[in-house]
Each structure stands twice: as structure tokens, then as C-alpha cells.
């Protein structure tokens, strides 16, 4: 294995650990609304940074590790919710990173990624519980917008600092959202 690739694998391991730690800490936050499972989504900042700095395969690995962590700590349903939500969010983020310089900024990416995550989770919930669960869709969309604004803002301000301290290749697409 070449040195740059070893560095990327090591960094992705750090990103996996960081995302799982943040996910755990988020689970300790008491719910703000009576709908189960609504969290701020701060671990998505790690996935977004990994996608930007290391690329899709590494960000996908972080998504899989986060879902595996949900399986170990919260069970099979949480695994599928995390997996489908994470993949939906990652796909949207990947697409938007390519378009953002012309059309969308970090907060827009954060919002659309969060709403995509909620839609992925809602798809799993519908498969398990049926269509009646769709009644909570408005709450999920509102919470997705709110959490996306927060994660997009945090991402915007932390990326320059992280890029400065973690010398990565010039591959990253985030210049200024």
C-alpha cells in the first residue's frame, strides 16, 4: 500500500471513530419533540468532511460504520434506519458537492442532506409500520431543515480549520460554500 493510501485509510478510521462518538453523544440529548429518533445529525458533518477530503468510498465506509454502530447499540431497526438514511444523505451530498460552486452553499447542502436522511429513514419506517407513519412527515421535514441549517453552518466554519490542521491532498472540493 502506498503512503498516501495508508494515510487515507488511517484518516477514514479516525473519521469512523469520530462519527460513532458523536452519534453516541447525540443519543444522550433528550428529545425536543415527541417524535422518536429526531437528532441533530452532527455526525453527518464528519461524513461530509470525509467525502470532501478523501472521496466517496471513504465516506461510504464511514456511513457503513455508523450504521453498524447503530446495529450494535440499538438493534436491527436502528441499523436499517441509519443505513438507508445515511446512504440517501451521502448520495445527495455527493451530487450537491459537484453542483454547489454554481448553485448551492454549505447550508443548502446540509439541509438537503438532512431531509434526504429523514426520507431514507421514513422509507424504512413505512416498510415496517405501513403508510400511517407518513403522518409524521411534516415534523421530519421541519427537523431536517433545522438540523441541516445547523450542520451546514458548523461544516462551513469547521472545514477551513480542519483543512489547515489536517494536511490533505488538494482533492477537496470545498473552497468556500
Tens digit of each residue's pLDDT (9 = 90 or more) over 133-160: 888 888 888 989 999 999 999 998 988 8
pTM of the model: 0.86
173 lies in some domain: no
What is the predicted pLDDT for the residue at 4? Answer: 75
Contact indicator for 42, 26 with CB cutoff of 8 Å: yes
Contact indicator for 112, 92 with CB cutoff of 8 Å: yes
Q: How confident is the model at residue 170 (pLDDT cuts 50, 70, 90)?
A: very low
176 lies in some domain: no
Residue 172 has pLDDT above 60, yes or no: no
Tens digit of each residue's pLDDT (9 = 90 or more) over 60-119: 999 999 999 999 988 999 999 999 999 999 999 999 988 866 678 888 999 999 999 999
Within 8 A by CB and 6+ apart from 88, the residues are 116, 117, 119, 120, 123
80 lies in some domain: yes
Q: Please, what is the average pLDDT of the chain?
A: 86
170 lies in some domain: no
Between 2 and 28, name the one with better pLDDT: 28
172 lies in some domain: no
175 lies in some domain: no
How far apart are alpha carbons 121 and 30 in whole angstroms? 20
47 lies in some domain: yes
114 lies in some domain: yes
Which residue range is the domain that position 156 belongs to? 3-165
State the distance between the two ends of the chain, measured CA to CA, in whole angstroms: 34
The number of domains in the chain is 1
Which CATH number do you get for residue 114?
1.10.1760.20
Amino acid at each position: 500500500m502506498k503512503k498516501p493510501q495508508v494515510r487515507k485509510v488511517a484518516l477514514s478510521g479516525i473519521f469512523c471513530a469520530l462519527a460513532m462518538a458523536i452519534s453516541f453523544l447525540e443519543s444522550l440529548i433528550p428529545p425536543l419533540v415527541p417524535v422518536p429518533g429526531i437528532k441533530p445529525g452532527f455526525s453527518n458533518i464528519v461524513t461530509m468532511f470525509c467525502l470532501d477530503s478523501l472521496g466517496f468510498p471513504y465516506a461510504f465506509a464511514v456511513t457503513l460504520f455508523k450504521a453498524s454502530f447503530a446495529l450494535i447499540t440499538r438493534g436491527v431497526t436502528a441499523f436499517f434506519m441509519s443505513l438507508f438514511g445515511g446512504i440517501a444523505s451521502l448520495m445527495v451530498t455527493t451530487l450537491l458537492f459537484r453542483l454547489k460552486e454554481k448553485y448551492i452553499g454549505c447550508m443548502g447542502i446540509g439541509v438537503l442532506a438532512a431531509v434526504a436522511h429523514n426520507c431514507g429513514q421514513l422509507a424504512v419506517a413505512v416498510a415496517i409500520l405501513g403508510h400511517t407513519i407518513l403522518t409524521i412527515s411534516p415534523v421530519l421535514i421541519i427537523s431536517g431543515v433545522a438540523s441541516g441549517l445547523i450542520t451546514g453552518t458548523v461544516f462551513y466554519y469547521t472545514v477551513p480549520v480542519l483543512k489547515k490542521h489536517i494536511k490533505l491532498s488538494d482533492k477537496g472540493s470545498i473552497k468556500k460554500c
